[in-house]
Amino acid sequence: MFQICFTDPNQGKASAQYIAGHKLGTKVAVIYNNADVYSTGIRDTFVEEGKALGLEIVSETTFTDETTDFTVQVADAQNKGAEIVFLPMYYTPASMILKTAADKNYAPIFFGVDGMDGILSVEGFDTALAEGVMLLTPFVATAQDEKTVSFVAKYQAAYNEIPIQFAADAYDGIYILLAAAEEAGITADMAAEDACDLLIDAMLKIEVPGITGTMTWDESGAVTKTPMAATIVNGEYVFE
């Protein structure tokens, strides 16, 4: 298997480096899903790197996929004076956390990862609550490079909505397969098993300049591309 999304450890480390490097604050709360390897993996590397860079982890609380009330988690972060709340999770629980924080008049910097992309399209969520939220993502629809502008225009014409990171990943995925097939010399008459073996070898040789970054892969299947921090401003993702 070859990934197109960032590896989880890279996101945790990059998040800590961004927060420390941009001096966003030093007291950090972490809320994470302890039943999800994605969330716990990011949490682990974030805490390790954060402590090495001088961040003070003042609160760590957990939840599961069944959690719908985040009062305890938000209150712990607030009571312990966290200036930043790190959210290594997907957008649905993140939207509930933002709503809970607003109800408690708690307004730290919320910093998330790629799984939070899509929070602006959560049904019933007041997007004003996401104003100022920061997250790591390889793609924002407001970028002005030629590839992104073309993709966004065609996506909007087809689906009548603005694409998020996951749409861009899927788009890149097709062209990654094309690049690997061309590198491997795949032809229509090949058996699927033979084509698969050739593609695996080819994936280790190609470099693909996609709309989510320029990508290469190692033997573990992990992708190399650089996470970038975006901020939600007026209902749009804006790269810093």
The reported pLDDT for the residue numbered 158 is: 97
pLDDT digits (tens, 9 = 90+) for 107-125: 999 999 988 988 998 999 9
pLDDT at 31 over 70: yes
Highest mean pLDDT among 140-154, 197-211, 219-233: 197-211
Contacts of 74 (CB under 8 A, 6+ apart): 31, 97, 100, 101, 104, 106
Q: Is the CB of residue 209 less than 8 Å from the CB of residue 218?
A: no
How do the residues of the chain divide into helix, strand and coil, expressed in percent and rounded to 5? 45, 20, 35
pLDDT at 56 over 70: yes
The reported pLDDT for the residue numbered 240 is: 65
What's the pLDDT band for 206 if we cut at 50, 70, 90?
very high
Domains, the chain, with CATH or none: 8-138+225-239 (3.40.50.2300), 146-224 (3.40.50.2300)
Question: What mean pLDDT is predicted for residues 55-79?
Answer: 97
